[in-house]
């Protein structure tokens, strides 16, 4: 078969697919709406089960003098009280650097840092036990901001750089220059289900840990390491999470360790469920950033040189911070071509909980920083920022190499932006802004379009792999297990669709099983938007192995020497629950019958599929390489309205256009787009982490930390897919969708910046992110006064 007809066949298959491409409801939708889908806290209690909790550090920085446990141990119902002394030699862990104590030992790193674990028969005894623990410690001056960490040179990991051309000279020689410092706030994941885990002791010192985690292998590895077990003695299972957003990629480890330690010590089942306040106080968040920037450009808006120095608030331990910073440096170009650019990144060490993954993983901060610069230049040159963006966008045939040396192929950026400008009536609406703003005395209006080009793949090469276990049963039903975890994103739904189509059976014939290290070993976190790309591809590969065996077998069955038809697996078709030989129309047997007969003939109906992403590689020392398999692209136009007196912000209209390839499940993907955008909008406009001077998080529950509510959804909210089937790199020509839409939230922030530019004063109040009502009012006031 030549390549052309192969492509054609591929396309026909895509079109004929029974499940793929359909908006099948979420795998657990019925369980969700009836309340019957259980989360960790809902699992029935075992009779011997213990309630587990912990006492944490009273200070953000300091030293432990002594810990008094006697009173706690005496509380009736308290079964054990454990400290780092009970952990053994491996009281330290970490996904990248091994630098995070499990239970505080000597030094105190952040407020709430787990110090003493208590396990008790009842919730009341647990609370009483924790209350009775006395921690004597001395406090020292904590580092609570990036600026302070820079001053004290408190850093984590080396400073990284991505550089192209000669930005120094380019900026010096540029006709126009601007520079500044941009402050970007952090963000709480605010998954609704807080961190939770249960451990059950097993035979031969085994532990079975149910964890609300994005990363079963990480839990297995850390539990084994810290508790001194071997990996084959630990099984980690995750059925579902009530949201994660990156917050359960590494941070599920500590609660899992706590219950594992208790189960190991007591031989009893043990469960921990953080309450929301505790969860928010002691777990890491999206990193706050400071970006020092300098840009040179021409009077027509073309950027000739750019330098950004990024500093992130890594918190008290490395966690994933250096990887997060890497993605920042890889996204500082956003969708713009820079001939001369230099992006430096340094993670800072502070006294807050170790910051971690959160949807976008450093990308959003980079894009916000770049879009701030774009808006500044537009303001300064008094030209429309959209023209500036188009002028600097990556080209198709030239101006198409990123600062890290990867060719930007499959580039749809200009097309997406032009199409969106058209569909959102951008030009017309922007043209009306000056008039509206000069007559409306109550509100100030602004509009902005921001693009996104998000690189897909883990930038750590080895993580780009997945395995899947496919079991076909003799009634023709199929179980699939992968290392991918379900956190609401619809991964299981998509895998069911993919596998059903492989075997030509109905969607309901396939079930995706709970994620478990027992079935899928050495897996990567479900992260980097690549859950379906990796696990879906592995599941398809596994299916194809079995399918091949079945096709060979069916070919024998359908062979007909009298008709001159020799056995031909190539002619065996799996469709509509029937397996047939296409050369004999009307022939065919049910898939279930074939499976049953195959077993009788001793044909293996189980297989493991494996997938590794081809071609990706990145050298972090040189800052060069091809870290990404492809890019998910899109753009958003946001319109904002600001109360001139109070700074209150509303977002009356948003238009989004996303290129996510050929969608496996359009409504699942659209849910990622609307959800991601609103989450991003929350980050840039409203969500505000407030600490006191001692390092206590004051905004530690939904009373004080405000994620978008339903009334914050723009009344006019148009979301569309950019039609595209050219992504040959990914399973069924789909594209990853989880993170990219979050970055589009930046449009709402840029629109605020745009609105402020209509004030008469030329003074730049240097709007920071998030643009809360308070921050906007500061800018309004400064501009009115200065």
Partner 1 sequence: MRDYILLFVNGKRNRIDGADAFRTVSDFLRGVLNLCGTKIVCSEGDCGSCSVLCGTPDFQNRRFSYKPIDSCIRFVYQLDGCNIVTVEGLADNEVQGGKLNCVQQAMIDCHGSQCGFCTPGFVMAMTGILEDSNSPSENDWRRGLTGNLCRCTGYSPIIEAGLRSDTKSSASMNDCFEPTAMLDAIGNAASQEITVTSNTQTIYSPTTIDQAVQYLVQYPEVKIVAGATDVGVQFNKGNCEAEVWLDLNRVWSMKTVSLTGGAIVAGAGATWSDIEILIENDLPQFHQILTWFGSPQIRNVGTIGGNIVNASPIADSLPLMFVCNAELQLTGGDGTREVNINDFYQGYKKFDLQPGELLSQIRIPLPEDDEELRLYKISRRQDLDISSFTGAIKMKLSGRKIRSAVIAYGAVGPVVLRLPKTESFLAGKELNEETMVAAGEIVVSEIKPITDVRGGDEYRLQLARNVLLKFLHEVRPEGALA
**Catalytic residue numbers, as ranges:** 739
Task: Indicate which single residue of 8, 192, 407, 698 sits in contact with ligand FES (rule: CB under 6 A).
Answer: 192
Decide: is 66 part of the binding site for partner 1 (CB under 8 A). Answer: no
**DSSP conformation letters of 724-773:** ----TTSGGGB---SSHHHHHTHHHHHHHHHHHTTSS--------BS--H
Report residue 622 as tokens. 């040189």
Shortest distance in whole angstroms from residue 226 CB to partner 1: 28
> Toward partner 1, which CB reaches closer, 162 or 642?
642
Provide DSSP, 609-627. EEEE-TT-EEETTTTEEE-
Q: Does 676 bind ligand FES (CB under 6 A)?
A: no
Cα 375 to Cα 377: distance, rounded to the nearest angstrom = 6
Q: How far is the CB of 667 from partner 1 (least distance, A)?
A: 4
489 binds partner 1 (CB under 8 A): yes
When binding is defined by CB under 8 A, the residue of 14, 18, 22, 25 that contacts partner 1 is 25
Q: Choose which of 263, 420, 686, 736 interacts with partner 1 (CB under 8 A).
A: 686
User: Among ligand FES, partner 1, none, what binds residue 701 when CB lies within 5 to 8 Å by partner kind?
Assistant: partner 1
- Number of residues in contact with ligand FES under rule CB under 6 A: 3
Q: Which helix or strand (DSSP H or E) is residue 65 part of?
A: strand 62-68
* 518 sits near partner 1 (criterion: CB under 8 A): no
When CB distances to ligand FES are compared, the closest residue is 192
- Burial-class residue 756 by CB neighbours within 10 Å (0-12, 13-18, 19+): buried
- Per partner kind, with CB cut-offs from 5 to 8 A, the member of ligand FES, partner 1, none near residue 1 is none
Contact, 307 vs 385, CB < 8 A?
A: no
Cβ–Cβ under 8 Å, residues 589 and 600:
no
Is position 243 an interface residue for ligand FES (rule: CB under 6 A)? Answer: yes
Distance CA 531, CA 491 (A): 7
10 Å CB burial of residue 511 (0-12, 13-18, 19+) is middle
The answer to whether 53 and 75 are in contact (CB under 8 A) is: no
Contact string (CB under 8 A) for partner 1, positions 719-748, x = contact:
x-----------------------------
Angle at 508 between CA 506 and CA 509, to 5 degrees: 70
Shortest reach from residue 587's CB to partner 1, in Å: 38
| d(C-alpha 28, C-alpha 498), whole Å | 17
Nearer to ligand FES by Cβ, of 42 and 141: the residue is: 42
C-beta closer to ligand FES: residue 41 or 148: 41
- Does residue number 490 form part of the binding site for partner 1 (CB under 8 A)? yes
Helix (H) or strand (E) run with residue 136 in it: strand 134-139
Question: 786 contacts which partner out of ligand FES, partner 1, none, CB within 5 to 8 A by kind?
Answer: none
Q: Each residue of 285-324: b (16+ CB within 10 Å) or e? A: bbbbbbbbbbbbbeeebebbbbbbbbbbbbbbbbbbbbbb
Binding residue for partner 1, selected from 670, 731, 744, 750, defined by CB under 8 A: 670
Q: State yes or no: residue 488 binds ligand FES (CB under 6 A).
A: yes
CA Rg, the chain, in Å?
A: 28
CA distance 605 to 520: 17
Which residues, in sequence order, are CB contacts of 375 under 8 Å at separation 6+?
A: 385, 448, 750, 753, 754, 757
* Least distance between ligand FES and beta carbon 485 (Å): 14
Among 2, 66, 397, 703, binds partner 1 (CB under 8 A): 703
Residue 534 touches which of partner 1, ligand FES, none (Cβ within 5-8 Å per kind): none
Closest C-alpha to 40, from 487, 702, 483, 511: 487
Binding flag, residue 758, partner 1 (CB under 8 A): no
Could you say which of partner 1, ligand FES, none residue 765 binds, taking C-beta under 5 to 8 angstroms by partner kind?
Answer: none
Axis-axis angle for helices 363-381, 666-685 (nearest 10):
60
Encoded one letter per residue, x for contact with ligand FES by CB under 6 A and - for no contact, window 442-481 reads ----------------------------------------
Partner whose binding site includes residue 274, from ligand FES, partner 1, none (CB under 5 to 8 Å by kind)? none
709 binds partner 1 (CB under 8 A): yes
Q: Which of 713, 758, 759, 766 binds partner 1 (CB under 8 A)?
A: 713
| Per CB under 8 A, 652 contacts partner 1 | no
Q: Is 241 in the site for partner 1 (CB under 8 A)?
A: yes
Query: Does 701 engage in binding with partner 1 (CB under 8 A)?
Result: yes
Contact residues for ligand FES, defined by CB under 6 A:
192, 243, 488
């Amino acid at each position: 078969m030549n390549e052309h007809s192969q492509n054609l066949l591929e396309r026909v298959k895509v079109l004929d697919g029974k499940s793929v491409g359909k908006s099948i409801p979420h795998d657990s939708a019925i369980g969700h709406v009836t309340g019957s889908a259980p989360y960790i806290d809902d699992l029935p209690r075992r009779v011997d089960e213990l309630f587990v909790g912990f006492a944490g550090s009273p200070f953000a920085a300091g030293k432990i003098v002594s810990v008094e446990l006697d009173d706690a141990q005496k509380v009736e119902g308290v079964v054990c009280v454990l400290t780092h002394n009970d952990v053994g030699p491996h009281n330290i862990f970490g996904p990248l650097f091994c630098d995070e104590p499990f239970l505080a030992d000597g030094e105190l790193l952040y407020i709430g840092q787990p110090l003493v674990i208590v396990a008790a028969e009842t919730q009341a005894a647990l609370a009483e036990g924790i209350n009775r623990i006395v921690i004597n410690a001395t406090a020292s001056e904590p580092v609570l901001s990036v600026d302070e960490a820079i001053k004290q040179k408190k850093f984590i990991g080396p400073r990284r750089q991505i550089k192209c051309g000669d930005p120094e000279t380019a900026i010096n020689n540029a006709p126009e220059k601007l520079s500044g410092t941009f402050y970007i706030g952090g963000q709480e994941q605010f998954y609704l289900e807080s961190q939770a885990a249960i451990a059950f002791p097993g035979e031969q010192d085994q532990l079975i840990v149910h964890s609300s985690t994005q990363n079963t292998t990480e839990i297995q590895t850390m539990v084994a390491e810290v508790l001194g077990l071997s990996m084959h003695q630990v099984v980690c299972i995750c059925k579902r999470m009530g949201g994660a957003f990156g917050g359960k990629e590494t941070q599920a480890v500590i609660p899992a360790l706590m219950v594992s330690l208790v189960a190991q010590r007591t031989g009893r089942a043990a469960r921990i469920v953080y309450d929301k306040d505790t969860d928010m106080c002691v777990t890491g968040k999206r990193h706050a950033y400071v970006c020092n920037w300098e840009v040179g450009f021409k009077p027509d808006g073309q950027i000739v040189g750019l330098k950004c120095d990024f500093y992130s608030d890594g918190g008290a331990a490395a966690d994933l911070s250096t990887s997060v910073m890497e993605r920042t440096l890889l996204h500082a170009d956003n969708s713009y071509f820079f001939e001369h650019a230099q992006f430096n990144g340094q993670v800072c060490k502070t006294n807050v909980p170790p910051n971690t993954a959160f949807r976008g993983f450093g990308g959003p901060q980079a894009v916000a920083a770049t879009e701030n610069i774009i808006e500044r230049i537009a303001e300064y040159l008094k030209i429309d920022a959209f023209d500036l963006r188009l002028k600097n966008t990556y080209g198709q045939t030239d101006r198409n190499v990123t600062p890290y040396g990867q060719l930007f192929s499959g580039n749809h950026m200009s097309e997406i932006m032009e199409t969106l400008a058209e569909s959102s009536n951008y030009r017309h609406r922007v043209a009306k802004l000056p008039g509206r703003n000069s007559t409306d005395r109550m509100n100030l209006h602004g509009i902005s379009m921001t693009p996104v080009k998000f690189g897909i793949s883990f930038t750590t090469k080895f993580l780009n792999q997945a395995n899947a276990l496919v079991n076909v049963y003799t009634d023709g039903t199929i179980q699939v297990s992968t290392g991918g975890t379900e956190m609401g994103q619809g991964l299981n739904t998509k895998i069911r669709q993919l596998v059903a189509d492989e075997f030509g059976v109905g969607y309901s014939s396939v079930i995706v099983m709970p994620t478990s290290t027992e079935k899928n070993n050495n897996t990567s976190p479900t992260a980097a938007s690549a859950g379906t790309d990796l696990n879906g591809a592995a599941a398809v590969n596994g299916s194809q192995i079995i399918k091949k065996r079945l096709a060979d077998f069916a070919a024998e069955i359908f062979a007909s020497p009298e008709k001159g038809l020799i056995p031909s697996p190539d002619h065996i078709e799996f469709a509509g629950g029937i397996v047939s030989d296409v050369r004999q129309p009307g022939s065919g047997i049910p898939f279930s019958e074939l499976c049953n007969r195959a077993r009788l003939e001793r044909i293996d109906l189980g297989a493991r599929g494996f997938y590794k992403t081809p071609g990706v590689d990145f050298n972090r020392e040189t800052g060069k390489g091809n870290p990404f398999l492809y890019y998910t692209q899109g753009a958003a136009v946001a319109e904002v309205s600001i109360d001139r007196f109070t700074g209150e912000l509303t977002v009356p209209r948003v238009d989004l256009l996303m290129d996510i390839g050929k969608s496996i499940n359009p409504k699942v993907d659209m849910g990622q787009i609307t959800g991601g955008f609103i989450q991003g909008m929350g980050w840039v406009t409203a969500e505000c982490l407030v600490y006191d001077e001692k390092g206590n998080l004051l905004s530690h529950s939904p009373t004080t930390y405000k994620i978008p509510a339903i009334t914050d959804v723009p009344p006019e909210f148009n979301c569309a897919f950019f039609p595209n089937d050219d992504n040959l790199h990914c399973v069924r020509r789909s594209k990853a969708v989880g993170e990219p839409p979050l970055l589009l939230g930046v449009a709402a922030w840029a629109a605020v910046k745009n609105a402020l530019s209509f004030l008469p004063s030329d003074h730049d109040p240097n709007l920071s992110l998030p643009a809360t009502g308070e921050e906007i009012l500061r800018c309004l006031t400064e501009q009115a006064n200065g």
